[in-house]
A and B are shown apart, each in its own frame.
Chain A
């Protein structure tokens, strides 16, 4: 079956760095997405990785290893507004999105 695993909840301190991991097993692979979702709002796109390696975009970076079925989202210089759910999603060979359950990130002062 197809499966996306990510931690349910993480806690970090303002100003610190946090890494949210995502492992996947899917039938085929056409890219991996990370989304940020604040409570009551629609998810917002953070990153898209289809090739191995690290993609850096400001305070956020996303890494992909296709051979390991693994990705992580790295958030630096954490701010209180980064408290949100972070969703990992993989597009499979049929171009269907397989969603992770999301990681709730709590930032403490």
Chain B
């Protein structure tokens, strides 16, 4: 159980375009989803936390107008990178938590974004 999927797994886009990444919890309801960015051989950097039906909470330094997050249902959250630039190229990982007293997060496989 507790499977999280991401789509697409990898995407290449041109500078200035927007890209949407989907994160789905396949066999459980995720009241909270997290979006991370991973730099090479580094820790995951938390970008934002989203709760179903409410606005996402962004970490300091993360531009909310550039990284649009929507958590429309208990099984789906989306991250849209708007007006992408080459420096946005990275590995984006989502995780989902059932909430309540559980802090366990189930991680997705990641999406590799390359902006040319």
Contacts and interface: CB of A to CB of B under 8 A. Distances in A.
Determine if chain A interacts with chain B. yes
Interface string A87-102: 1010000111111011
Given A39-B103, A42-B43, A44-B43, A97 B36 contact: no
Main secondary structure of the interface of A (DSSP, over half): strand
**Most-contacted residue by chain B among A85, A87, A95 (CB, 10 A):** A95
Contacts, number: 42
B9 interface: yes
Contact of A42 (B2, B36, B110, B112): B36
Interface string A71-90: 00000000000000101010
A94 B93 CA distance: 15
Contacts of B93: 97
A45 B43 contact: yes
Nearest to A37: B105
A35 B38 CA distance: 12
A7 interface: no
Interface in B31-76: 34, 36, 41-46
Report, as a range, how many residues of chain B touch the other chain: 20 to 34
B10 A94 contact: yes
Interface residues of A, number: 20
Interface string B104-116: 1111011010000
B44 A35 contact: yes
Contacts of A48: 41
Given A39-B103, A42-B34, A95 B10 contact: yes
Interface of B: 2, 9-10, 34, 36, 41-46, 91, 93, 103-107, 109-110, 112
Interface of A: 35, 37, 39-40, 42-45, 48, 85, 87, 89, 94-99, 101-102
